[in-house]
Amino acid sequence: MNRRPRITPARLCGFLGLPVVVLAVAALRATTEGNLQAIWAGPGADDITSVLVYFSWLPRLVVALIAGAGLALAGVLMQQTLRNPLASPTTLGVATGAQALLLVATLFAPGLLIYGRGLIAFIGGALAVALVFALAWRRGLAPTVLVLAGLVVNLYLGAVSLALILFNQESLHGLMIWGAGSLAQQNWSDVVHLAPCLVIVALGAGILSRSLALLDLDEVNARNLGVSMLWLRTVSLGLAVFVTASIVSRLGLIGFIGLASPAIVRLAGARTLKARLIWSPLFGALLLTLTDLALQLIAGRNAALIPTGATTAALGAPLLLWLVPRLSMNARSPNTNAPPPIPRRNAPWRLIGFAVVATLVMIIIALFAGRDAHGWNAPFALPWAETGHWRAPRVLAAGMAGMLLALAGTLIQRVSGNPMASPEVLGVSAGTGMGLLALIWFVPGAGTLALLGAGTGGALTTLVVLIAINARSGFEPEQLLLTGIAVMFAFDAIQRIVLAGNDPRTQSMLAWVSGSTYFVDMHTAIVISSVGLVLVALAWPLGRWLDVLPLGELVSRALGLHVTVSRVVLLGLVAVLTAAATLIVGPLSFVGLLAPHLARLSGLARARPHMAGAMVFGALLMIAADWVGRQVIFPNEIPAGLVATLIGGSYFMWRLRRL
């Protein structure tokens, strides 16, 4: 590269520092309502203005700096240890663990909240990470396995949380503000708790930095230099998790900073780990503080809450999108993301045959068995005419959506060679979700047709963004996934903001977003199924590309494959498959991630058996999930997407442990 970077990390921080000071003064003026004399009264004064200055404005400023620095530091440690630029402080499940345990405690053991939300959240986060570590322990905490385990635990606990929120919205609305990350303060207790955590972790990172820098070499070389990988990973991740859990448990979920700060300072020229360890926390602190101050001033007279954590992520997403094409060029480090090898099965089609039979059995159960007002009815007891027209479209839609998502997942995982890849991660589901959400929000009362239109619009817009950003790099997979993650960030953040606002519209929103076959009628099911079958027929002949592409760009080219063209075709297919499925089951079913992995873990290695196996598993999983979700807490219905994540996630964790 011959372009000398004009931006340096120091200049970048200086550039942010100035507005931080200006806005901090502005926020102080707003707090004192121009009565700056109150400041000189000192913290002992009883007057409300000086109390606000010393117990609200000042601790909030300090806590924003600490949280920003802590999360950015955790991000550097995570990305360095896991060798993955997509890793963030919450990759290993800290935040979702904290949230899940808080929700469970609030609903089922509110007495525990006497010990403080912070403690319960911290324990929840720690338990989730302990689970992730346990799953990856046998493989020596290998980065790929850790990332996969973290992803599954995140999805699993996320699904548990969403199911709880779905049915207990009123009881949990206070927690939704925590879930969106608010920095509001009314004494110094958060600062007093968090400052020592930050100091401990900063010292630890300083001590580890030399060993961690060796990870920039590949694993074998690092080990030869006398580094115990297991020890190094445990300590480094432990530090990152500790600081993240402390911050999240006190302030709530603050996304984006931990992912973006390390990435941005690296882009600005902090190439070495040491430079990143210094500049990233500084930049993170300034970035979070700047956002928080700006939001405080904007919020001013506003009736609705503008939570800092989620808003930072929502505003940060476009910044991340802008960064993406610039980022990946610099991120050339040894790729240890290749999935661990699985023994290949000798008779793949026999396994697939068994799965097909299981699916047929499941379809029969789903169509003919179920609960009604009297409890369980015996199969075939109720005439088909009574229940058939309710059940048939749902079974068809669930099966089809599972199939399409699984196929999309197989394609994207084979194209990208990244085990974190899934159609959801590509951002198309999130785009569809945002389209739906916008319509529900701004046009309450819109019908199903309008929702379908809005969903398709969202998917197409995301697709255009994906293409615009990635065209120049020839759809380089890593970069594509980063783009998708930025879109997902925005969607997740917007959802959290909406939930924190807690008004009557959220119920409808949750219903759509959580991935249910509820709204599908027979007509829609048939239309989408026909489209889906055409797409499957289009994908089938591409099996050879999918066998060749995972071998890498050079090999693929040598075998006569036009890499960019094949990527564009396959990704286009992935996008359309995802959009079609998302319209049925919403953006949150992670069948597209789980089913291809399940197929691969069962030893289906070559492209066509892999595709076929994933599709059958996907369909089976979704049909079973849809049926179980409708029965388990009858008359309430747990959306199929959530149940699929729970069933698939459990199985996935079990397989992962035996890997």
Partner 1 sequence: MTYAPVAGLCRRGPGIVALVGLVLALFGLAAQASAASRDTTDDASPPTPRLATLDWGIAQNLVAMGVSPIAVGQTAGYATWVADPPLPKGTCNLGNRAQPNLELLDQLDPDRILITRFYAPAGPRLKQIAPVTSVDTYGQPGDVWTNTVDAVKRLGQIAHRSAAAQALIARVESDVRKAADQLPSSTKPLLVLQFSGPQHVRVYGQGSLIQATMQRMGLTSAWQGETTPWGFSYVPISRLAEIKTGQMVVVGPIPVGIAEQIKNSRVWQSLPIVKDAPVLYIPQVWSFGGLPSATRFARLISHALREAPASGPGWPVKAAGA
Closest CB 183 distance from partner 1, rounded Å: 9
Q: Which is nearer to partner 1, 52 or 331 (CB)?
A: 52
Residue 441: what are its φ and ψ, rounded to 5°?
-70, -50
Cis peptide bond prior to 635, omega within 30° of 0: yes
Q: Are 61 and 24 in contact (CB under 8 A)?
A: yes
| Plot region of 475 (φ>0 → left; ψ -120 to 50 → alpha; else → beta) | left
Spatial distance between the Cα atoms of 180 and 310, rounded to a whole number of angstroms: 5
| Least Å from the CB of residue 496 to partner 1 | 14
Nearest residue (CB) to partner 1, 116 versus 474: 116
Largest CA distance in the chain: 82
Tell me the closest approach of the beta carbon of residue 1 to partner 1, in angstroms.
47
Asked if residue 435 lies in contact with residue 458, where contact means CB atoms within 8 angstroms, the answer is yes
Residue nearer to partner 1 on the CB measure, 34 or 635: 635
Report the SS3 class of residue 446.
coil
DSSP string across 314-356: HHHHHHHHHHHHHHHHH-------SPPP-PPPS-HHHHHHHHH
Structure tokens at 334: 């040894």
Structure tokens at 296: 């405080």
Between 150 and 639, name the residue whose CB sits nearer to partner 1: 639
In the complex, the smallest distance separating the C-beta of residue 60 from partner 1, rounded to whole angstroms, is 9
Quote the CA–CA distance of 462 and 456 in Å, as a whole number.
10
Closest Cα to residue 515, out of 406, 633, 626? 626
Q: Which is nearer to partner 1, 231 or 384 (CB)?
A: 384
When the beta carbons of 385 and 537 are compared against partner 1, the nearer one is 385
Provide the minimum distance between the beta carbon of 507 and partner 1 in the complex, in angstroms, as a whole number: 4
466 sits in which H/E element: helix 448-470
At closest approach, how far in Å is the CB of 120 from partner 1? Answer: 9
Of 106 and 556, CB closest to partner 1: 106
> Alpha-carbon distance 562 to 334, whole Å?
24
Least CB distance to partner 1 at residue 456 (A):
16
Please identify, using beta-carbon distances, which residue of 48 and 220 lies nearer to partner 1: 48
Least Å from the CB of residue 283 to partner 1: 27
Residues found in the chain: 659
